[in-house]
Structure 1
Amino acid sequence: MQQKPCLTQKELARRWTISHRTLERWRWTGQGPAFMKIGGRIIYRLEDVLAHEEAHLRQTADSLDAGVA
């Protein structure tokens, strides 16, 4: 199954198990992934979502000590 190239605000909120209001607040404060506003709709490109997730990836100290990348 091929993934959609874009997500709506509610789809992204479900993906991250957060409120769509949180995404609204993040847009207002300049946080969160890049987005597009087309015809009054907010759209997140999957590539921007994945980049944002990668940028916020954290590792535990245990995994670093064990040499796990």
Structure 2
Amino acid sequence: MTDRYLSVDEVAGLLGTSARFPRRLIEERRIRYVKVGRHVRIPQSAVDEYIAARTVQPIRLRCTGLRRVA
């Protein structure tokens, strides 16, 4: 299966940010990208990896059976 290559604006739309944020990720080399001439494209898999690496799982609290005193 081939990877889909996204423009900076498309990545910004997926992340719900302005185009400035993906450009900063590229500049700081925090996400994989491909340069095609003067254009920059980001593989869909790189966006998925970025999101997965920064996903925070919820904390499950243990039920101790103790009641809270108000």
TM-score, length of structure 2 as denominator length: 0.71
Question: Please, which runs of 5 or more residues in structure 2 have no aligned partner?
Answer: 63-70
Question: Please, which runs of 5 or more residues in structure 1 have no aligned partner?
Answer: none
1:45 aligned residue: 43
1:37 CA drift (Å):
0.9
TM-score, length of structure 1 as denominator length: 0.72
1:61 aligned residue: 59
1:51 CA drift (Å):
1.4
1:23 aligned residue: 22
1:7 aligned residue: 6
Cα RMSD (Å): 1.8
Bigger radius of gyration, 1 or 2?
2
Using the aligned pairs only, state the percent identity.
18
Secondary structure of the residue aligned to 1:37 is strand
Normalized per residue, the structure richer in helix is: 1
Q: Name the count of aligned residue pairs.
A: 60
1:42 CA drift (Å):
0.8
Secondary structure of the residue aligned to 2:57 is coil
CA distance in 2, matches of 1:26, 1:48: 11
CA distance in 2, matches of 1:39, 1:30: 18
1:30 CA drift (Å):
2.4
CA distance in 1, matches of 2:42, 2:11: 8
